[in-house]
Amino acid sequence: MSTNDDLNYESFHSVKISIKHRRTGEFTARRSLLTDLFQITHINCIRNAFVAGFFLLISRQAINDLLHYGRFDWTFDLLNQAVGKLHIVAFIWCLMTLSTMFIVFYSTYMWASNRKFTGLYLKLYDFIWSLIYIFYITGLLVIPSWQIIKHQLPIASSAIILGEQLRQMMKTHSFMRENVEKILQQSNNSKDKKLSFKFSHFTQYFYFLFAPTLLYRDHYPRTSKIQWNIVMQMFGQFMIALCLVYHIVAYFWVPIFQRFFTDDEITLEFTISTIFDLMLPGVLIVILAFYGFFHCWLNGFAELLRFDDRMFYEDWWNLTSAATFWRSWNVVVHDWLYVYVYKDMSKLLNGNRNLSATCVVIVSAIFHEYFMIITLGFFSPVLIGWFGIFGMLFRFSFPRAKGTRWNIVLLAFVPICVAVIPYFYVLEVSARYFPLKRKTFWNIVFNSEKQTNSEL
């Protein structure tokens, strides 16, 4: 065996060790999993195969346009419909960021610096500031959503604001929790209330707002310098992945979605064929979205900010249980849910792990559904039903399953998800487009209630 192959297998072995010893909430210098795996020639060949496949995909469309129209017939109608009113998006984002940056930090600092009471007055003082914090979080949720509805922002523009809204809300809660716990510990350990308290610096908080993590720490592992070639490479690959996602949606998904508006009747045959037609493009979108965001986008910001802990995901494609899949798919959000939802609920529920895990699933499903409600402009509980019901069934059915067959089951469940979820959302849209021919979710609910009342 050659020396190069020895190095490749050694790097692969070190990757497995880094995954094994990872602990939630601990930050150490480590690279992303794909960064290490791409050092292995055989793994890098898989990425090259995907690149070649996507190149052929684009070439097919280009050659087909030249043969039929004599020119490129690339349409940007979907882009124009999905993205718009960017000046409003920029204005709302600036207001959210400035409020999160200054109001949150200096309000928390005011609470900590003026906490000089004792007894009942101290409890009342903390209670008032807790109400202020609740009002702020409520305002951060309500005001941007209200602006989206007021200005009738397109889907992609709404998604940008809502994604930033949820990100800043989770970062705000993490900063508050970590500093409140720090101040309370200092207060309990110190007998002299006039001693100066230790509070995070604004520069630390400012760095945290843009760092690719949702867990606040005063210090993170940092690299010695910025490698600008990696920054350009990561953001360049992100843009390519974004363009490929748009191409797949515009030329593969949209023609399938148009069936909902041309066919008068939704039959079982129509449903089955449509769901299977959505699977392959859906899987490609998932792969591109995962690689583009979790690997390229987050690694690009990590390199730009010299953030050295880059374990943003784990090897979810090798896992055999739904519980470990959700923990490994999105490590950044999972860490936040584990620290601030799972652990807190475990304390309240006397260590009941199943109920605590159920609370995590419910919270995640609610905010996913909230994202879809504001983005689409209507409520259809697809995500709550799919992830809340089927997700928990999968989790408790085989929480510690092992073996190849369970990995096959889990990998088969991914294309089913990415086909069924858009199917039901587009079905709801078509029902609103054809109100006399089809029933929306609320029509079904109200009609069933009327039938039940008439039977009674």
Token pair recorded at residue 387: 């992830």
Active site residue 334: no
Angle subtended by helix axes 119-151 and 104-113, to nearest 10: 170
Cα 37–chain centre separation:
23
Give the list of residues 6+ apart from residue 145 with CB closer than 8 angstroms, or none.
162, 165, 374
Of residues 444, 436, 425, 422, the one with CA closest to residue 377:
425
The angle, 0 to 180 degrees and rounded to 10, between the axes of the packed helices 104-113 and 155-189 is 10
Q: What is the CA radius of gyration of the chain?
A: 25
Out of 151, 173, 247, 368, which one is annotated catalytic?
A: 368
Catalytic annotation, residues: 368
